[in-house]
A and B are shown apart, each in its own frame.
Chain A
Amino acid sequence: MRDIRTGVQLGGPAALVLGAMALGSLASRSTEIYFINALIAVSVVVAIYVFVGNSGVVSFGHISFVAVGAWAAGVLVVPVADKPATMPYLFGPLQDAHVGNVPSLLIAAAVGCVFALVAGLPLMRLSGLAAGIATFAVLEITNNILRYYEKVGPGLNVFSSVPETTDILQAGIAALAVIVVAFAYQHSRFGRQLRATREDAAAARAVGISVYRQRLIAFGLSGGLAGLAGGLYVHLLPLNVDFVYLDLTFITLAMLVVGGMTSLWGAVVGALAVSGLDSLLAEAENGLSIAGVTIDLPAGSRLVVVGVLMAAVLIIRPGGLTGGRELSLPRSRRRGAATTEGTRS
């Protein structure tokens, strides 16, 4: 019975991703991009969830890991011949370096992970408000440096001549991989220890858990996953430094909150639900006709609706759409929550 329950907890999110992949591959070219975006959003939100959901510490800084991942992958995959034109001020070794698509994604993940670990070394000593502001500071610093330091990337310009290799298959496989890693983590002893510190830091300390070390492990892991997502983004569209800044921070946090901050299921549901709504609204901004009725929203109203939705979910259901619980079979509820491990009581 426990195996089934565990299987459902992994299978539910995975099935949603597979469903989105199937729908996306059936859709037309112009619609497919929405599905690809949604699948990358799943990766980003699950990455944030690995740290925020398991530790209970809000981080506004994860988009900086997405950004360094994008920068790492973007700089390395641009053909050497194109670099002097698009990124003339690069460091010498970077000018001559070139890797393929999949290695660049792995490097993006590695760079995100290392960056998160380095940033986490001092930051994970903080908690509560100080931690929130400090992660925000990381986002500001990363954005500021990537914006002006042209030895590591294109600065203010967009990443042009990056091969656009992110398709529905890659985005889907990456999302599945991220979900599996997040699932494995939260069922490992590290994940359980971190969740214990979330529920009661003092009690967790009393049984010998190092809050600092557990948070650092989660921060590094989620930084790696976020870096991978950044690599996917840079292969999807010519992005610049403003893409990986406040708006993406807001929308991914909104997804996590709308879905439910404390469960993997919530992260995936939130990412797909908000992405779906966002895509619909984006279409509506360009004039969308459903059954003869044309809806034409003014530009920018997308974020208004998402903002209202996020505030409304917080007020009506502070736990998010899923209540912050993992997916469970209807019958297993009767056995009582006390025996269900991995769900939030």
Chain B
Amino acid sequence: VTHLVASVLIDFLRAAVEAQVQVDAIGQGAIFALMAVGIGLVFGVLRLVNFAYGQLIMAGAFALAFASDKDWPVWAGIVLCFAVVLALSTAMERVVFRPLRTQSPAVMLVATFAVAFLLQSVALVLDTRDNTIGQPAASLASLNRPWVIWGTDVRKITVVAIVTAALCLVALVLFLGRTSVGLQMRAAAMDFQTARLLGVRANRVIGSAVFLSGVLAAVVAVMLTVQQPLVTSTFALKETIVVLAGVVVGGMNRLLSATLGGFAIGYASGLLGGALPTAQSQYLPSFLFGLVILILIVRPAGLFAGRRGPVERV
């Protein structure tokens, strides 16, 4: 048995260091990091884990599929995607999160779970009206073609994902660090009550956080539809569950650690997906979530959560 485990491990490591696997894993990590930021931003101000985040992305993907079905130009599809996702995330905040703001975390968690399944079942009803499951969103499909660099297939979308993620993160850091609303959001994430006493408007801060996380969801929707052009009602569901686990594993209390957690789990799942032998690759979720449990037991506060010192939460 030891011999078998060792040989599997060696095969895995040999496959994992290949440039192809690494590039794909980093690309997946970049997209997951963006989703982690979207979840982490809302958690910072609301202390709410948004299970329905994936359904925002799914809605955006349906908007893109709708636009490509109607033969709209690509930019119009992307505009529609942003409009739908932002409207939906704002509505979600107004109708569900705002009334529940004072409730216990358990109630809020279950509430977002309910919203997630509500949106998913709405999508299923809309999706299956024409008796086909899934709509293709083909607008940006050309990005799926690879560039060959030193014998490695680098799909254009991988580069786009990494660059977009980097740009979004820089913009976000500037926003949080240099603007008044950003400062207020950081203050609210640190201590909501005190921030309110000092004149931070709760609704405005929460509204901006929800808006920003909606923008990120729309960006992710555009990029995910390039990789998986068939949009179904469970679009982005698996990814969201994995990212949620990653965010908690990274550490929810700071945006940075949450983002790193999202990147790490995307990278790990890309690595496992690319390097596991075929016989084991169907057990990828088990490996991934086993790792999640393991890390949570060792570091329940989060892998990247700072141990001591001044805590900056957003």
CB under 8 Å from chain A, chain B span 2-37:
none
A148 with B117: CB separation less than 8 A: no
A307 with B105: CB separation less than 8 A: no
Q: What is the size, in residues, of chain B's interface with A at 8 Å between Cβ atoms?
A: 44
What is the CA–CA distance of A137 and B249 in the complex, to the nearest angstrom? 12
Asked if A298 CB lies within 8 Å of chain B CBs, one says yes
Given A129-B248, A304-B125, A311-B96, check contact A141 B285 (CB 8 Å): yes
CB-CB nearest in chain B for A254: B114
Pick from A57, A58, A122, A299: contact of B297, CB below 8 A: A122
B118 with A148: CB separation less than 8 A: no
A137 with B49: CB separation less than 8 A: no
Asked if B113 CB lies within 8 Å of chain A CBs, one says yes
CB-CB nearest in chain B for A126: B300
B296 with A126: CB separation less than 8 A: yes
Asked if B289 CB lies within 8 Å of chain A CBs, one says yes
What is the CA–CA distance of A136 and B51 in the complex, to the nearest angstrom? 12
Residues of B within 8 A of A302 (CB): 121
Q: How far is the CB of B35 from chain A (nearest CB, A)?
A: 15
Q: What is the size, in residues, of chain A's interface with B at 8 Å between Cβ atoms?
A: 44
B110 with A148: CB separation less than 8 A: no
What is the CA–CA distance of A143 and B114 in the complex, to the nearest angstrom? 21
B297 with A126: CB separation less than 8 A: yes
Pick from B105, B118, B245: contact of A133, CB below 8 A: B245
What is the CA–CA distance of A314 and B118 in the complex, to the nearest angstrom? 14
Residues of A within 8 A of B114 (CB): 250, 254, 257, 307, 310-311, 314
Chain B proximity mask over A100-132: 1 for CB below 8 Å, otherwise 0: 000000000000000000000011011011101
Residues of A within 8 A of B284 (CB): 144
Can you spell out 22 A-B residue pairs with CB atoms less than 8 angstroms apart?
Answer: A57-B106, A129-B252, A130-B296, A130-B300, A133-B245, A134-B292, A136-B244, A137-B290, A140-B289, A141-B285, A144-B286, A147-B282, A246-B237, A250-B113, A250-B114, A257-B114, A261-B106, A304-B122, A304-B125, A310-B110, A314-B96, A314-B110
Taking Cβ atoms with an 8 Å cutoff, the residues of B that contact A are: 49, 95-96, 99-100, 103, 105-107, 109-111, 113-115, 117-122, 124-125, 128-129, 237, 241, 244-245, 248-249, 252, 282-286, 289-290, 292-293, 296-297, 300
